[in-house]
Amino acid sequence: MGKKIFSGVQPTGNLHLGNYIGAIKNFVSLQNEKDNNCVFCVVDLHAVTVKQDPKILKNSIRETTAAFLASGIDPDKSIIFNQSLVPAHSEASWILGCIARMGWLNRMTQFKEKAGKDKEKASVGLYIYPVLMAADILLYDASHVPVGEDQKQHLELSRDIAQKFNIDYEAHEFFKVPEPLIQKNFSRIMSLKDGMKKMSKSDPSDLSRINLTDTNDEIAIKIKKAKTDNEILPASEKNLKERPELENLLGIYSSLKNQSLKISISEFGGKNFSDLKKKLTDLAIEKISPISSEIKKIQSDNTYIDNILLKGAEKANKIAGKKVYEMKKIIGF
């Protein structure tokens, strides 16, 4: 039997190589596996947990959709829509917020990181962000959720919420308990400027990430300026952990080339950083430039993008609307 896949990406700023390697590239493989049913959501309700400029948000929703399409997600095979078009997500989120416990949410490390020192000033939405994420997943009876390593804890929370609802309401197996799909390798792409920090949309330095919309020149400059050390490249994986920037560049190279880290190490062992950077630049341009030009092409037609989202939302509404109706019946509404 095929898998039921659900995943989401926030429309906040540029999608980068971390999103591509950690998430979108896998969305495409899962979509192309026989018998899978896939739903990919632009999670705009999640985006407003921090303040957004309305015009920029609208543009980012379309850009994220364009990036999905340009990377190979096919609206005839998968459902693609933006979350705010399907009211069941907000409704289910309220109900599940009454199932989730404060103690569970207090453990969420992403909230702690995003809220920073002054958590009294963080929005309530940011705090209950993982509950909305659980609603997204559970409404579609997703069996598998492909995400990067950073979302593992949120997924565990979704599982806890599903199980508690099923037990509390004696609704045996009403919610399917979802499995995370986190790649074993390269599930965490790091900043080009600091091998200990995740590559992120919100990093103030654009040099820290390769965006899917970057030009060839921008890609080349960013890899050239990526942080390195002065030693030659090792012939084995030993000691790689002590050289996080090297490990990251080798990881990106291996993932884009669909080969193991071991093979990449044997390719570069004894060589200089500049050799790796040169080959990585060529490879990154080869992989990203078709996506980048396709994004730009798709983005020149907003009506086309909006129609895809509307059609996707119609299909999503049918599935999620039915599930939330059943939820309401179970709880006595």
- Quote the CA–CA distance of 250 and 227 in Å, as a whole number: 13
Shortest Å distance, C-beta 294 to ligand TRP: 22
Q: Which is nearer to ligand TRP, 138 or 280 (CB)?
A: 138
Q: Answer with the entry of ligand TRP, ligand AMP, none that 114 interacts with (C-beta below 5 to 8 A by kind).
A: none
Q: Answer with the entry of ligand TRP, ligand AMP, none that 19 interacts with (C-beta below 5 to 8 A by kind).
A: ligand AMP
Shortest Å distance, C-beta 18 to ligand TRP: 10
Q: Answer with the entry of ligand TRP, ligand AMP, none that 189 interacts with (C-beta below 5 to 8 A by kind).
A: ligand AMP
Handedness of CA 93, 315, 37, 252 (dihedral sign): negative
Shortest Å distance, C-beta 77 to ligand AMP: 20
Q: Which is nearer to ligand AMP, 36 or 64 (CB)?
A: 64
Shortest Å distance, C-beta 23 to ligand AMP: 4
Shortest Å distance, C-beta 131 to ligand TRP: 11
Q: Choose which of 15, 17, 147, 189 interacts with ligand TRP (CB under 6 A).
A: 147
Q: Answer with the entry of ligand AMP, ligand TRP, none that 287 interacts with (C-beta below 5 to 8 A by kind).
A: none
Q: Which is nearer to ligand TRP, 151 or 187 (CB)?
A: 151
Q: Is 161 in the site for ligand TRP (CB under 6 A)?
A: no
- Quote the CA–CA distance of 265 and 271 in Å, as a whole number: 10
Shortest Å distance, C-beta 89 to ligand TRP: 9
Residues that bind ligand AMP (CB under 6 A): 9-10, 18-19, 22-23, 147-148, 150-151, 187-189, 198-199, 201
Q: Answer with the entry of ligand TRP, ligand AMP, none that 68 interacts with (C-beta below 5 to 8 A by kind).
A: none
Q: Is 42 in the site for ligand TRP (CB under 6 A)?
A: no
Residue 117 in tokens: 């020192």
Classify 186 in phi/psi space as left (phi over 0), alpha (psi -120 to 50) or beta: left
Considering only CA atoms, which of 183, 82, 95 is closest in space to residue 138? 95
Query: Residues 54-93 vs ligand TRP: string with x where CB under 6 A?
Result: ----------------------------------------
Q: Is 7 in the site for ligand TRP (CB under 6 A)?
A: yes
- Quote the CA–CA distance of 217 and 78 in Å, as a whole number: 33
Handedness of CA 215, 216, 220, 226 (dihedral sign): positive
Give all strands of the β-sheet with 78-82 in edge-to-edge order.
78-82, 37-42, 4-9, 144-146, 179-181
User: Three-class SS of residue 80?
Assistant: strand
Most distant CA pair in the chain, distance: 68
- Quote the CA–CA distance of 8 and 133 in Å, as a whole number: 9
Q: Which stretch binds ligand TRP (CB under 6 A): 49-57, 129-137, 231-239, 244-252?
A: 129-137
- Quote the CA–CA distance of 284 and 215 in Å, as a whole number: 11
* N residues, the chain: 333
Task: Using CB under 6 A, count the residues that bind ligand TRP.
Answer: 13
- Quote the CA–CA distance of 201 and 6 in Å, as a whole number: 22
Q: What is the CA radius of gyration of the chain?
A: 21
Other Cβ atoms within 10 Å of 275 Cβ, number: 14
- Residues with a catalytic annotation lie at 114, 198, 201
CB 243 within 8 A of CB 229: yes
Q: Which is nearer to ligand AMP, 14 or 216 (CB)?
A: 14
Shortest Å distance, C-beta 152 to ligand AMP: 9
| Contact set with ligand TRP (CB under 6 A) | 6-8, 10, 43, 46, 133, 136-137, 145, 147, 151, 154
